[in-house]
Amino acid sequence: MGMSFLSTLTFDSLQRVRRLVKQVHLEHYPADKITDREADRVIEALGPVALQQEIEDAARARIDMT
């Protein structure tokens, strides 16, 4: 199995993507289940191409990722 694409992201980029995933994909999770680890699982499942689309969609929708 190859290297995770998460490891290719800078720390700041990973933090921004985690915030986006938590806002969009984990919004209905119980608060105690919304963790960085769970966000990372969603990010890995989306893959880099889908993740790029998510980021572009968030930018168009003006979702705050800072």
pLDDT tens for 27-59 read 999 999 999 999 999 999 988 888 888 888 888
Q: pTM for the whole thing? A: 0.80
Q: Is the pLDDT of residue 61 over 60?
A: yes
- Contact in structure between 36 and 17 (CB atoms under 8 Å): no
Region 3-10: mean pLDDT is: 84
d(CA 4, CA 24): 22
Question: Residue type at 62?
Answer: R
| Averaged pLDDT score across all residues of the chain | 87
